[in-house]
Amino acid sequence: MRVLLVEDSRTVRSYVEAILRDAGDIELLPSAIDGATGVALAIERRPDVILMDLELPVLDGIGAIREIMAAAPCPIVVLSGQLEEPARDRTFESFQAGAADVLAKPRGLGDEEIERFGERLLRVVRVMRGARVLRRGVASFRRSLTPMPARLADVVLIGASTGGPLVVRRILEGIPAPYPLPIVICQHIVPGFEHGFAAWLEATGHRVTVVGPGDKVQAGIVHVARADRQLALRGRELLLLPREEGRPAPSADVLFESASAWFGARCVALLLTGMGEDGKRGMLALRQKGALTVTQTAQTCVIDGMPAAARAAGASQRDLSPAEMCELLREVVGAPASARKPA
């Protein structure tokens, strides 16, 4: 697997290069120290994966991602260091430009921090080997969905991982704002990026909040799970629970299973692109209670891991593209089919 690093910091570049060189299954291409050189190398060398800083000279990371996705598309992982400055964070703009995932740069250079970062880096790079590069801005309505009677649901649940942020935003862009039902999002995300994610989603016109202690689901609000805790429902109360060994945090399984116990059939659950099997068990519990369970189609996923696992388990009632999910969510609340179609 051929990897291109685009990073102007000599310090960051040196330890990322060292991690990649020590991996026996990765060929590290010559690195670039500015965005324009990164674009040129991507076109010339055709890497399998690109690691991209956003703060770059000559051409910034957002511009470089756009040019690469137009000329030599491949999976791009953003290396972000803006955790403590969410107002300046352009991480989520990178998803609109075409990035597939984000990885936080280590905050320190201690051995333990570097070791943890190295493990995350290699895991993400290897996952990207099987990632699907999708064209941006393509939406279609190819199937006629069977209309649902309005107001048969009390809450909408969304589980997502790799490639999920852009799909979540497109879904919010494609439904009425404010939406008449609460929406709860369980997105696998780097701790510290939740508030930037919420702010980016608010540009769709919805009110978006990161879940805090004592919060309750409310109609017209999009609730985003924290990355360092599990999120569960107890009636309309949102519970922040400790992380669990062997499970991602937040876990779609934890959210879906708790919703099945309290809301039963009165849920709509969407399981979007992502690696692994998180969400499969919880979605099956929801379907067995009569809830409407929907997986994202394989051809529109960056990584068809979570949806594929749910499909194989018989947990998915419908398999829809993001555009069709928007149509479905409008039908659930009786909104006109033409309202806020995604571009």
| DSSP calls for 136-164 | TT-----SPPPPPPTT--SEEEEEE-TTH
Handedness of CA 203, 208, 209, 211 (dihedral sign): negative
**In the prediction, which pLDDT does 149 show?**
47
| Topology adopted by domain 2-128 | Rossmann fold (3.40.50)
The reply to whether omega before 250 is within 30° of 0 (cis) is: yes
| DSSP label at residue 125 | H
Q: What is the pLDDT along the chain (343 residues), one digit of tens a residue?
A: 999 999 999 989 998 999 999 998 999 999 999 999 999 999 999 999 999 999 999 999 999 999 999 999 999 999 987 654 554 568 888 999 999 999 988 776 667 777 888 999 999 999 998 898 876 544 444 444 555 444 479 999 999 999 999 999 999 999 999 999 999 999 999 888 899 999 999 999 999 999 999 999 999 999 999 998 999 999 999 999 998 888 899 999 999 999 999 999 999 999 999 999 999 999 999 999 999 999 999 999 999 999 999 999 999 999 999 999 999 999 999 887 655 544 3
Domain ranges of the chain: 2-128, 155-332
* Residues composing the chain: 343
Coil vs helix vs strand at 275 = coil
Write down the pLDDT at residue 143. Answer: 47
Question: Angle at CA 197, nearest 5°, toward 265 and 297?
Answer: 50
CATH superfamily membership of 155-332: Methylesterase CheB, C-terminal domain (3.40.50.180)
Fold match flag (2-128 vs 155-332): yes
Kindly report, residue by residue over 51-77, the tens digit of the pLDDT.
999 999 999 999 999 999 999 999 999
Provide the pLDDT for residue 290.
Answer: 95
> What pLDDT, on the 0 to 100 scale, is given for residue 136?
53
Any idea what DSSP says for residue 32? B
Q: Residue 198: which H helix or E strand, with range? A: helix 194-202
Cβ contacts of 25 within 8 Å, gap of 6 or more: 1, 126
Query: What per-residue confidence (pLDDT) applies to 86?
Result: 52
Round to whole Å and give the CA distance between 163 and 78: 12
Q: What pLDDT is stored for residue 280 in this prediction? A: 98
Strand partners, 95: none
pLDDT in the model for residue 342: 44
- Identify whether the C-beta of residue 56 lies closer than 8 Å to the C-beta of residue 127: no
Which residues participate in catalysis according to the annotation?
Answer: 161, 188, 278
Map tokens 């780097």 to a residue. Answer: 190
Alpha carbons within 13 A on the beta-carbon side of 155: 26
Answer whether 192's CB lies under 8 Å from 211's CB: no
The predicted structure's pLDDT at residue 105: 86
What is d(CA 335, CA 332) in angstroms, rounded to the nearest whole number? 8
Tell me how far the alpha carbon of residue 224 is from its chain's centroid: 12
